[in-house]
Structure 1
Amino acid sequence: MNEKRMHAKKWQTTFFLIIIIVVTYLSTSITNFNLIDGMLTIPAAIGWMFSNLLITQDSIAKMPQILEKLGETIFMSIAATTLAAVVSLFLALMGSKTTKVNQFFSVIARFIASFSRNIPVVAWSLILLISFGQNSMTGFLALFVATVGFLTRAFIESVDEANQSSVEALTATGATYFHIVSKAVIPQSLPQMLSWILFMIETNIRSATLVGILTGTGIGYMFDLYYKNMNYNVVALITFTIVIAVIVIELLSNKIRKVIL
């Protein structure tokens, strides 16, 4: 019996590998992508980067402006994430099986989370750009809406994983819904929720650069401006600054996670 199962699994694995190979071949044929030609262009691309993306004295003079725009991007990401976390907490409490008020609100909360999460932040930027134009509000809302979907889903899972015995004990004593949530559910779920919030701050700082290019705000707008003017020295400094900022924030986030988890 075990041999038949192993034999069937081997055939299934082989079948799926064949499908992947066929789909990959069709994709490269339709898009006219040639892997060999792509690999051959890598040395030339690396050579161009080392020749053009150089940080010079003139580009360093732009550092105050770069840091100002970088700070704007970071603070916008943090603000969008923290506000989204508050909204997501209420949606998660309504959507969780443990704390849901009724089935109707649970379905609504899960629908909002699924809808906003399955639309990429770039798509949200383009959608909101039509209504709000190129300004910081558009970038903020794009990050906010996308974050609400992700955090709501993550918070629902965190609440569902909470220990049910404490919830049942408080329910048996006649505790109110508010007391059950504040005394049993939130304390257990809070460390995991804070970890998800930190993760989304990191993610949104990365996404905010691309959002800024579309919405004309923050460090993304500055990158796009100098890139279009072919001032690659400043582009190199902006890129380097973004990379350093992301690494520093990730290190801080990891240290905070170790403390709270």
Structure 2
Amino acid sequence: MRADIFTKRRNNHLLFFFSLAILTVVSALITQYDVLKGFSSIAKALIWGAGNFYPDLKSLRIVPDVLPKLWETVLMSIAATMVASVLALALALAGSRRTRISSFCSFLSRGLASLFRNIPLVAWAMVLMIAFSQSSLTGYLALLFGSLGFLTRAFMETIDEVSNNSIEALQATGAGYCHIIFQAVLPASLPQMVSWLLFMIETNIRDATLVGVLTGTGIGFSFDLYYKRFDYHAASLVVVFIVITVILIEVISNKIRRVIL
């Protein structure tokens, strides 16, 4: 019996990898992708990057211009995430099995969360540019909408994991809906929600660079500007600032997580 199960699993794995190999070959043929040329170009790209894409002393002239843009990007990411978290909490409470008001509200909340989560951030930025052109508001709204779907889903699952015992105990005492939310649900789920919130801030600071390239704002615009001017040393310095900022935010987030979890 065990041998049959093992053989079946092995055959399924072989079938999966065989199908994946066929799909890869067919995709390469359709797109006319040269595999050998692709791998050989990696070494050339590394050599070019080592010889051109690095900050030098002359690139330090851009520091007074780049730091305000970097600060703007960080503040935009935090603001978008915080506003999205408030809206996501309301949607999560309406959609969770533990706290939903009605089946219709739960269905509507889950549908909105799925819609916002499955639209890529780049698509949000491109659609919003039609209405608001290239501006800070466009970047802010793109980050907000992109965060809303993810946080709603994360908060909803966190609330669903809350023990039903405390909720039933409050219901037995005649506690109302708001009392149950603030005395049972939120105290139990808040640490995990804060962890998701910190994760979203880190993600948005990374994504804000790409959004800035599209919307012409923040640190992403600075990188795009220097790169298109073939000022690779300045562009690489912008990348260094972004990496340092992301690492600092992650270190701070990890310390906060260790305190609350």
- After TM superposition, the score normalised by the length of structure 1 is 0.98
Q: Distance in 2 between matches of 1:56 and 1:231?
A: 11
* Map of 2:35 onto structure 1: 35
Amino acid at match of 2:97: K
Displacement of 1:3 in angstroms is 2.2
Q: Deviations over 1:42-67 (max 9, x none)?
A: 22211211221232222101101111
Partner Cα separation in structure 2 for residue 191 and residue 228 of structure 1? 44
Aligned mates of 1:21, 1:172 — CA distance in 2: 59
CA distance in 1, matches of 2:254, 2:180: 31
2:184 is the counterpart of 1:184: yes
**Hey, what's the Cα distance between the residues in 2 that align with 1:6 and 1:20?**
21
**Letter aligned with residue 2 of structure 1:** R
User: Aligned residue for 1:63?
Assistant: 63
Question: Which letter maps to 2:221?
Answer: Y
1:41 and 1:13 mapped to 2: Cα distance?
32
Rounded Cα–Cα distance in structure 2 between residues aligned with 1:186 and 1:170 = 14
Give the deviation of 1:254 after TM superposition: 1.1
How many residues end up aligned between the 2 structures? 261
| Equivalent residue, structure 2, for 1:45 | 45
Q: Tell me the equivalent position of 1:174.
A: 174
For structure 1, the residue ranges without an aligned partner over 5 or more in a row are none
Q: Give me the whole-angstrom Cα distance separating, in 2, the residues matched to 1:249 and 1:68.
A: 17
State the identity as a percent: 50
Change (3 A) 1:32 1:161: same
What residue in structure 1 maps to residue 101 of structure 2? 101
Q: CA–CA distance in 2 between the matches of 1:189 and 1:48?
A: 49
Give the match for residue 224 of structure 1: 224
Aligned residue number for residue 202 of structure 2 = 202
Runs of 4+ in 1 over 3 A off after TM superposition: none
In structure 2, C-alpha distance between the alignment counterparts of 1:29 and 1:245, rounded to whole Å? 41
Distance 1:125 1:201 in 2: 18
Structure 1 equivalent of residue 25 of structure 2: 25
Opposite residue 70 of structure 1, the aligned amino acid is L
| 123-132 or 52-61, which deviates more | 52-61
RMSD: 0.9
Deviation at 1:251, TM superposition (A): 1.2
